[in-house]
Amino acid sequence: MVRIRPPTAGHSILCIDGGGVRGIIPPAILGQVQQQLDLPIPIQEFFTLAFGVSAGALIVLAMFANGWSVERCGVEFQELANFAFRPPSTVSVPGVNWIRAILSDSLYSENDIEIALRRVFGETAFTETAYAQRIGAKIGIPAATIKHPSSLCLFTNYNGSKQERRGYRVLTEAENIKTWEVGRSTSAAPLYFPAKYLAGLGTFQDAGVLANNPLMIALAEFAATNGNAQPDLVLNVGTGTSPNAPLKDEESKFITDSWIFRLKRAYMSLMQGRRIWDDVTSADINAGRNCGRYRLDLSITNPPAIDDATSMPVLISMVYRDDILLGAVPEIAYHLFATLFYFELTALPQKTGSNLYVKGSILCIRKGRDAALPKIAKKLHRSKVYINGKSCRSIIETDEHGNIQQHLEFMTGQSLLIELKEEGSLRAFPISGSPYDITNLIERGSTTAVFGMRTHKKRVRELTCSRPSKRRRLCIACLSS
């Protein structure tokens, strides 16, 4: 059954950086968020848009195309990396591997990684991934072209708007491309694997050479498909960041600071998606829209080479010992829980002076006989509702199927902020789609549906417009005045 997103609910975005074998870090981090949520809901089902680069793209595809748990993603990623980065037979001969890489265009066999990707993703077309369709998730996977100037292209499992993009191109001709081919294109890191040719489209390489963090593209795609709306929450998961090295008053060394070593260090610095995060969040702060943006990343003083498969168990253990990272997890889990709920009007608002008298319900996005509903209801009973920053009394009900309704009546202006403060949280977080504009709520809500309420009951009509006609219903002009 396909999950339909309620029209008054918002959207959350997940972005995962690239990083070679460091791609094992995001599943471990997301596993900590899943554990904190303590709900029988796969963490990917809290997000409606997911973007990933290189190794991060493989994790996104495993979660949203295959529907795998983060635990399984971690196990399968280790197997894939160990197979794809199998040392060549000439590994013990100094310098031979570099000569081989120059002659064959890569250090590692393209056959090995393609065998591994086919085993993981099968032969399903990227646009026909059943799990993503069922949960209503949009997936975006960037890759880079190889010709000068190299540019970013985006593989998607959805038909995007025809709005022109700036800084990248959506590959609308990629309908028949298979999921494993998308994964192969985005993980073709120069030196390590050869570029991937896709008939009718061109040749692609790892997008990390241009942007190892998909955040900018994700936000641009959200704007292209959702207009002026803002996402409920944006979670950017990194693959390890090194602290900035202090400046040293010393001259360069003949060998260790030669051009080839400087080039390698510059390439490795591109792997740190923190820079893009800093650029985006700085712009958001200046524009006054930094709420609900989170980055979870591991601090690594000496990051391993992107093909050092033996480092993966150590990287996982580092996640469990990073106190700063783990300390940020509860707030994100509380915020994600709040996005399980949205608000709908149960009657048309009545204008009273300069304010509006509003009746409505907080509803849960999870419906029917969802196994998570009893636990969600229990957590909701321990939460407080805030309307425009003030605590509000409410009545929580569940029907015979377990569907949750929390009835509210309150006064508000044209703008409406509804938040939930879960027990144990230090602050309240907006529910999905909040803050709302009352006019938009009326236009999108069931009170103005052509066939009445979504319950198919007769539409509420008792609230009247404050303008002269006694029998006239409240109009949008009144609400806007």
Domains and CATH numbers, the chain: 12-337 (3.40.1090.10), 340-445 (2.60.40)
Integer Cα distance of 238 and 259 in angstroms? 28
What mean pLDDT is predicted for residues 24-34? Answer: 99
Q: What is the pLDDT of residue 268?
A: 59
Q: What is the pLDDT of residue 277?
A: 87
pLDDT category, 252, cuts 50, 70, 90?
low
DSSP 295: E
Is 206 annotated as catalytic?
yes
Catalytic residue among 12, 17, 54, 434: 54
Higher pLDDT, 147 or 205: 205
Integer Cα distance of 108 and 61 in angstroms? 22
Q: Give the CA distances from residue 463 to residues 211, 351, 481, in Å, rounded to whole numbers and listed in that order.
A: 53, 9, 17
pLDDT category, 401, cuts 50, 70, 90?
confident
pLDDT tens sequence across 137-185: 999 999 999 987 889 999 999 987 777 888 899 998 888 999 999 999 9
Share of the chain above pLDDT 70, in %: 81
Answer yes or no: are the C-beta atoms of 214 and 19 closer than 8 Å.
no
Q: What is the pLDDT of residue 470?
A: 42
Q: What is the pLDDT of residue 480?
A: 39
Catalytic residue among 206, 232, 297, 307: 206
pLDDT tens sequence across 404-461: 999 999 999 999 999 999 988 999 999 999 999 999 999 987 655 444 444 444 444 3
Query: Sign of the C-alpha dihedral, residues 36, 42, 46, 50?
Result: positive
Q: What is the pLDDT of residue 175?
A: 85
Q: For residues 209, 212, 215 and 218, what is the CA-based torsion angle, rounded to 10 degrees?
A: 60
Secondary structure class of 114 (helix, strand, coil): helix
Q: What is the pLDDT of residue 89?
A: 64
Q: Give the CA distances from residue 440 to residues 51, 122, 310, 403, 437, in Å, rounded to whole numbers and listed in that order.
A: 28, 43, 53, 24, 5
Q: What is the pLDDT of residue 160?
A: 74
Q: What is the pLDDT of residue 254?
A: 58
Is 383 annotated as catalytic?
no
What mean pLDDT is predicted for residues 328-343? Answer: 98
Higher pLDDT, 261 or 384: 384
